[in-house]
Amino acid sequence: MAQQPPRSGRRRRFEPVDQETLRRELALNRQQIAGADSSIRDALRLRNDSVARALADGVAVTRIADAAGVNKFDVRRRIGTGHTELQPAGWPAEAHLQEVRGHAQTLAAAVGHKSGLEARRRSLTVMALRTDQLDLFAVASLAAVPPQRIRSEMRGTTLRSVLLAERA
């Protein structure tokens, strides 16, 4: 694709990426997000199992909620009711709380990693659409995201704002 020379008074503040690189990056990003989703599910399962074991051993709900980073209602009603058949393991309360904290930190790290990947997807999407390298439906199919979601993510976003956010 031939690049037009910049008009007078306007400077190009980015290096355009070719179409094949954008396609490859979007497809790779889709795979990475799928892997991050899997990591989140695993970390969530481990955290919920450790919370349920702590409940079975009689650790106070407020202490478990503080360690897990969720509210008391979630510990008692949502997580605890799914694991009512557990037998007490006999661990001390601090061992349970340390395990819950560890799994909660792992879950938070996985969620943070996924949000970084989603920000990268948004920047690739903006770059592809604002530079007319790919159309909306090609980007949606490569990113495995509905076109309506891409439209809503693009509102008010400029290429410069994405590039500045990427550098920060």
Round to the nearest angstrom and report the end-to-end CA distance of the chain: 30
Q: Tell me, yes or no, whether 143 lies in a domain.
A: yes
pLDDT of residue 39: 97
Q: Tell me, yes or no, whether 122 lies in a domain.
A: yes
Domain that holds residue 74: 19-167
For residue range 47-91, what is the model confidence (pLDDT) as tens digits?
999 999 999 888 999 999 999 999 998 898 888 777 767 777 888
Using CA atoms, how far apart are residues 27 and 89, in angstroms rounded to an integer?
Answer: 45
pTM for the full predicted model: 0.78
pLDDT of residue 10: 53
pLDDT of residue 95: 94
Q: Tell me, yes or no, whether 9 lies in a domain.
A: no
Query: In this structure, what are the phi and psi dihedrals at residue 60, rounded to the nearest 5 degrees?
Result: -60, 140
Q: How many domains does the chain have?
A: 1
Using CA atoms, how far apart are residues 5 and 19, in angstroms rounded to an integer?
Answer: 19
Report residue 155 CA to chain centroid gap: 20
Q: Which stretches of the chain drop beneath a pLDDT of 50? A: 1, 12
H-type alpha helices, 15-92: 19-56, 61-68, 72-73
pLDDT of residue 13: 53
pLDDT of residue 155: 77
Q: Tell me, yes or no, whether 136 lies in a domain.
A: yes
